[in-house]
Amino acid sequence: MKSLQIIQTVSKIGKVISTIVFICCIVGFCMCIVGVVTTALGVTAVKLGGVTLQSILQNEAQMTEGTLYLSLIAGAILCAGQAVLAKFAAHYFERELRDGTPFTGDGAKELLRLGVLSICIPVAVQIASAIAEKIIARLFAGVEPPDVDPTVSLTVGALVIILALVCRYGAELAAQRATSDLESEQEQ
């Protein structure tokens, strides 16, 4: 049963990390929205030592106003997607801790859902970022696209789906074992 204790410890750590990631993503989302609003209100109005925010962006950061907007909006989209994923991960870890084992039918279903979401959400984030890029490119000149790469999440999602299948198989074996134990007790 030492392996089960390790799994439970990993689940506790996963739950804490998922909760922290969720909170950080919510804060990141809010900060990106505040950044968009602040930029919209102060690109030409904010002056630091006679220099506007717009000139700082162009000269120092070598970033156009449109690229800044796109970066902030893509960041908000990314944070929202990852917050959803972190919340589902925390929910899975809570269930696993409550069940006491990853080998339950309902736990395997939640793990499968997490794997599918780990694939779908990054793709949706990339699509939403591309749409935002097209809209902002029509409003501003010189917009550079954000670098959003869903490859890692696709791989993680596929591995989580495989793990869900293993957990479902384990749940089926446990159910078969319980049934055969019950039948042998009834025969005696």
Q: What is the pLDDT of residue 4?
A: 86
Binning pLDDT at 50, 70 and 90, where does residue 160 land?
very high
Binning pLDDT at 50, 70 and 90, where does residue 173 land?
very high
Cα–Cα distance list, 161 to 8, 13, 136 (Å):
20, 20, 36
Cβ neighbours of 104 (radius 10 Å): 21
Greater confidence (12 vs 61) lies with 12
Give 42's Cβ-side CA count (13 Å radius).
Answer: 14
Q: Quote the mean pLDDT of the chain.
A: 87
Percent of the chain past pLDDT 70, that is, above it, reads: 87
Q: What is the pLDDT of residue 60?
A: 66
Of 119, 105, 127, 104, nearest to 160 (Cα)? 119
**95-129, pLDDT tens digit by residue?**
999 999 999 999 999 999 999 999 999 999 989 99
Torsion over CA of 152, 94, 28 and 134, rounded to 10 degrees? 50
Listed by start position, the domains of the chain span: 2-187
Q: What is the pLDDT of residue 133?
A: 92
Q: What is the pLDDT of residue 58?
A: 66
Cβ atoms 111, 160 nearer than 8 A:
yes
Q: What is the pLDDT of residue 184?
A: 75
**28-86, pLDDT tens digit by residue?**
999 999 988 888 887 666 666 766 666 666 666 667 788 888 999 999 999 999 999 99
Of 97, 122, 101, 93, nearest to 166 (Cα)? 101
Checking if the pLDDT of 154 tops 90, the result is no
Q: What is the pLDDT of residue 74?
A: 93
Look up tokens 């030409």; give the residue: 44
Please write down the HEC assignment for all residues of 11-36: HHHHHHHHHHHHHHHHHHHHHHHHHH
Checking if the pLDDT of 149 tops 90, the result is no
Q: What is the pLDDT of residue 68?
A: 84
Average pLDDT of span 166-175? 92
Checking if the pLDDT of 165 tops 90, the result is yes
